[in-house]
Amino acid sequence: MTKLQPYEKRPYRPGVGMLLVNDGDLVFVGRRIDQRAEAWQMPQGGIDEGEDARTAAMRELEEEIGTAKAEIVAESRDWIYYDLPPDIADKVWKGQYRGQKQKWFLLRFRGQDSDIRLDTKHQEFDAWRWVPLDQVPALIVPFKQVLYRKVVQEFAPLLARA
């Protein structure tokens, strides 16, 4: 068994997050399939080796909700970081990371609700819905709420124009 680095010395895993909005400026959230508690989140995932963040965002969107019928409207100015609680950090990603640094994207959904399919190869969600932007941070697990508030704050002014 490989010995884990001390939590404070672990790097952040590079990833992307997608704030996907429909024509009514409601935000897509999916209910995580791997949580005991009710946990919703926006699509997000890792950036593969040699992949740029925009490509990763569109790939992850399709992998998680079964469609990439969306266009990127904006990208976060900076990387947004979150730390996993230490007990969780020891279990996910083989304990290699302390959390993630993510580039977030505002995307406008260009498909129909019927295009959204959760029964993907690596299913992450068992339900989904559209919710008002201001409700999103309260739906997420507590350790990601600060990150979600930052995403909402950055993209909220763009929604009426997106």
User: Rounded distance, CA 47 to CA 103, Å?
Assistant: 10
Domain 12-159 belongs to what architecture?
A: Alpha-Beta Complex (3.90)
Q: What is the pLDDT of residues 88-120, one digit of tens each?
A: 888 888 889 999 999 999 999 999 999 999 999
Q: Is the pTM of this model over 0.85?
A: yes
Rounded to 5 degrees, what angle do the CA atoms 134, 144, 124 make?
Answer: 95
Say which residues have a Cβ less than 8 Å from residue 121's Cβ, sequence separation at least 6: 63
The enclosing H or E element of 106 equals strand 99-109
Q: What is the pLDDT of residues 57-87, one digit of tens each?
A: 999 999 999 999 999 999 999 999 999 998 8
Residue boundaries of the structural domains of the chain: 12-159
The per-residue pLDDT of the chain, averaged, comes to 93
Rounded to 5 degrees, what angle do the CA atoms 100, 139, 105 make?
Answer: 50
Q: Looking at per-residue confidence, does 35 or 158 come out higher?
A: 158
- DSSP string of 54-78? HHHHHHHHHHHHS---EEEEEE-SS
CA distances from 91 to 11, 32, 85, 100 (A): 15, 17, 10, 14
Q: Is the pLDDT of residue 21 over 90?
A: yes
| pLDDT above 90: percentage of residues in the chain | 78
